[in-house]
């Protein structure tokens, strides 16, 4: 009888671990659903643009270039050498 509290705690711990696993699976599923919805929205927007694939590629390249941080100048350019 002395282990009954310990047994109850172990059983509760196991239930908590099972619940945690269920919630983690739910989180992964919801993250997947959000990502799919974001991708569908992107596809709808891209398809709505009347442009050739080459034009879209150029637009995306320009957007990427605008987001890149400026490249550091080498020592010769900085020091005027």
pLDDT tens series, the chain, 81 aa: 568 999 999 999 999 999 999 999 999 999 999 999 999 999 998 889 888 889 989 988 999 999 887 777 766 655 655
For residues 5 and 23, give the distance between their C-alpha atoms in angstroms, rounded to a whole number. 27
Q: What are phi and psi of 29, to 5 degrees?
A: -65, -45
Domain interval for residue 45:
13-67
Report CA-CA distances (Å) from 25 to 8, 21, 58, 61: 26, 6, 39, 36
Residue 76 lies in a domain: no
For residues 9 and 29, give the distance between their C-alpha atoms in angstroms, rounded to a whole number. 30
pTM of the prediction? 0.59
Other CB atoms within 10 Å distance of the CB of residue 59: 13
Residue 27 lies in a domain: yes
Which three-class secondary structure state does DSSP give residue 3?
coil
Domain count, the chain: 1
Residue 55 lies in a domain: yes
């Amino acid at each position: 009888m002395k282990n009954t509290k310990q047994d109850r705690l172990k059983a509760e711990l196991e239930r908590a671990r099972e619940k945690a696993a269920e919630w983690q699976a739910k989180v992964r599923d919801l993250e997947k659903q959000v990502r799919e919805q974001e991708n569908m929205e992107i596809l709808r927007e891209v398809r709505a643009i009347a442009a050739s694939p080459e034009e879209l590629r150029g637009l995306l390249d320009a957007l990427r270039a605008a987001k890149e941080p400026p490249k550091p100048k080498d020592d010769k350019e900085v020091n005027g050498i």
